Amino acid sequence: MEYRRIGRTGLRVSELCLGAMYFGGDTDEKTAFEILDRFVEAGGNFIDTANRYNDGESESLLGRWLKNRDRDRMVVATKVFGRMHDHPNGLGLSRKHIVSAVEDSLRRLDTDYIDLYYTHVFSRDTPLEETLSTLDTLVTAGKVRYLGASNLAGWQLQKAVDLSTHHGWNRYVALQPLYNLLDRDIEWDSVEVCLAEGLGVMPWSPLRAGWLSGRFTRGMQAPPESARVRQSSDVPFDMSWEQYNTAHTWQVLDALEAVAAETGRSVPQVATRWLIQKPGVTAPIIGPRTLAHAESSLGAAGWTLSAEQMSTLDAASAKPKPYPFNLLEFYAANPG
């Protein structure tokens, strides 16, 4: 397992981050502990959760695991935004909710500090200055070491960075977006902001909920019953069969299978490795539900795709850029 700095910080984390979203839910405590111990044995030191995952049980389970491990060795990330209490201020990014939420997360994690604290989504209900100034006080108080954001558009991220810089506040050092071979839209603006401002990128759903796992084949009329993919969904960013059963998806899967055959690695390992080698990426977040899944995911670390193999996957997964990105790209190549 190799280690990388998060953006321009001095904080070093493993090239894979272990996501704990299923811990305390689909994954019971015994299995979760086995996964966590195996991850650390393989050299992993970076764990991601959120206060909302399984109504706080993911954090509580991690707290019980950390109690008998070397806390200082680990880099623990969690998030704030989602509803945790049934009252008007029980969710969001207000000063009141953030201060309450961080104390609750510290208690559940049974720790004195959080290494990386993400805002889970952008809030249109709270002035950005209120959110960012509150986050700064958490770092100053020693409750949080570093700050991150998740699921932001490029302009939202840039505005947040600029405001924090202007006021001299501790600023975001990481972005956690949806990013994989089937979802590359963030390369058009959010990744550019991260590269320019020195933020590390931590992609979630590197296998797109199983689409890039190698389990699906052409001609299937529906996903396997055991798959996370549903037949249909009204959620735009969901991973339903109807949304992703396209010629483009099968083109990407064909390229993945070809590269997997060349490397002797599995399709999901190649898909995750591609992310690890993309500009700006610090550590993709793997989300195993079983120890076998964890073993497979760990196989994405410690080796390298060739430039030709990266180009093959880039070309197969590329999509036409919408305006204004297509115009900007055209005039960058044709300034005259």
Is residue 222 one of the residues assigned to a domain?
Answer: no
Q: Answer for the pair 216, 246: CB distance below 8 angstroms, yes or no.
A: no
Is residue 91 one of the residues assigned to a domain?
Answer: yes
Is residue 317 one of the residues assigned to a domain?
Answer: no
Report the number of distinct structural domains present in the chain: 1
Whole-angstrom Cα Rg for the chain: 20
Element (H or E) spanning 72, and its range?
Answer: none
Is residue 245 one of the residues assigned to a domain?
Answer: no
Is residue 319 one of the residues assigned to a domain?
Answer: no
Q: Answer for the pair 302, 273: CB distance below 8 angstroms, yes or no.
A: no
Is residue 30 one of the residues assigned to a domain?
Answer: yes
Q: Answer for the pair 115, 79: CB distance below 8 angstroms, yes or no.
A: no
For residue 230, the model assigns a pLDDT of 64
For residue 84, the model assigns a pLDDT of 76
Q: What is the pLDDT along the chain (336 residues), one digit of tens a residue?
A: 999 999 999 999 999 999 999 999 999 999 999 999 999 999 999 999 999 999 999 999 999 999 999 999 999 999 999 877 778 777 899 999 999 999 999 999 999 999 999 999 999 999 999 999 999 999 999 999 999 999 999 999 999 999 999 999 999 999 999 999 999 999 999 999 999 999 999 999 999 988 899 888 777 777 666 666 666 566 666 677 777 788 999 999 999 999 999 999 999 999 999 999 999 999 999 999 999 999 999 999 999 999 999 999 999 999 999 999 999 999 999 987
The pTM score is 0.94
C-alpha distances in Å from residue 163, one per residue of 155, 158, 171, 237: 12, 9, 9, 29
Is residue 74 one of the residues assigned to a domain?
Answer: yes
Report the catalytic residues. 53
Q: What span, in angstroms and rounded, lies between the C-alpha atoms of 13 and 150?
A: 18
For residue 233, the model assigns a pLDDT of 62
Is residue 201 one of the residues assigned to a domain?
Answer: yes
Q: Per DSSP, which regions of the chain are E strands? A: 3-5, 12-14, 17-19, 46-48, 75-80, 114-119, 144-150, 172-176, 200-201, 285-286
For residue 244, the model assigns a pLDDT of 79
Return the CATH number at 144: 3.20.20.100
What residues contact 59, with CB distance under 8 A and at least 6 apart?
Answer: 49, 50, 51, 53, 78, 105, 108, 109
Helix (H, G, I), strand (E, B) or coil at 235: coil
What are residue 309's phi and psi, to 5 degrees?
A: -70, -40
C-alpha distances in Å from residue 243, one per residue of 30, 115, 182, 214: 35, 36, 11, 18
Q: Which domain holds residue 41?
A: 3-217+266-304
